[in-house]
Amino acid sequence: MTSLQIRNLACVVCFLVIPAAGVTLPWDKDMQDQPSQKPQDSVIETTDTSVPVVGKDRYAPPKDIIDLVRSRLEAGKTLVNPVPKSPESLARGREMYELHCLVCHGEQGRGDGPVGQKFVPQPMELNLDYVQLQPDGQLFYTISHGSIAMPFYRQAMPAEDRWHLVNFIKEVFGDT
């Protein structure tokens, strides 16, 4: 082969290889394009006839923001905290807060946790009158079903632990 033929062959190879590097096979992005469950999304929709694994929430998940607000207000009127405030309840509530809430709401409940600072809007300040004056049932509903930007925790912690968390929020952040 002459040097001219080698140079031509090298050019042809370059013209074939360089564009091929940007072209991938159709199955190369299967993992990226697959349908997947997002963190803290409901696993399945439940109906009134579903058999609960552990207990059953009195309120179904809200269908939209209007249903969320209505149900939250109704829960404030009808749900009564079955867990009395006690040192044990507050200790369990603290555990739940540190595990699930601290990263967004912060150590003092001011909505300034390391993850919460990245959200717009920032997480609710738990020491505000708006939160502290809510009935226990309304706070329980918010923890269970989430809010506008807050995820729900009905599947992350049992109902009793959510009531302990309500006690903790009212007792610890209510005095600040």
Residue 121, in any domain of the structure: yes
* pLDDT reported for residue 77: 93
Residue 134, in any domain of the structure: yes
Q: CA 56, CA 42: separation in Å to the nearest integer?
A: 15
* pLDDT reported for residue 3: 82
Residue 123, in any domain of the structure: yes
SS3 32: helix
**pTM to 2 decimals?**
0.68
Distances (CA, A) of 54 to 13, 58, 83, 93: 65, 13, 17, 19
CATH number of the domain within which 101 lies? 1.10.760.10
* pLDDT reported for residue 40: 59
The neighbour count for residue 104, using CB atoms within 10 Å, is 21
**Structural domain of 163:** 65-173
Tens-binned pLDDT, residue by residue, of the chain (176 aa): 788 888 888 777 767 766 655 555 555 566 666 666 666 565 566 666 655 555 566 677 788 888 888 989 999 999 999 999 999 999 999 999 999 999 999 999 999 999 988 888 889 999 999 999 999 999 999 999 998 888 899 889 999 999 999 999 999 998 65
DSSP states of 69-135: HHHHHHHHHH----S---HHHHHHHHHHIIIIIHHHH-TTSSS--TTGGGSSSPPPPTTSHHHHTS-
Residue 167, in any domain of the structure: yes
* pLDDT reported for residue 108: 93
* pLDDT reported for residue 149: 83
* pLDDT reported for residue 160: 94
- Nearest residue to 159 via CA among 65, 83, 90, 67: 83
SS3 148: coil
* pLDDT reported for residue 124: 92
Residue 116, in any domain of the structure: yes
Residue 12, in any domain of the structure: no
Q: CA 110, CA 152: separation in Å to the nearest integer?
A: 19
Task: Report the domain count for the chain.
Answer: 1
Token code pair at residue 121: 């809007």
Residue 13, in any domain of the structure: no
Residue 154, in any domain of the structure: yes
Position 9, amino acid: L
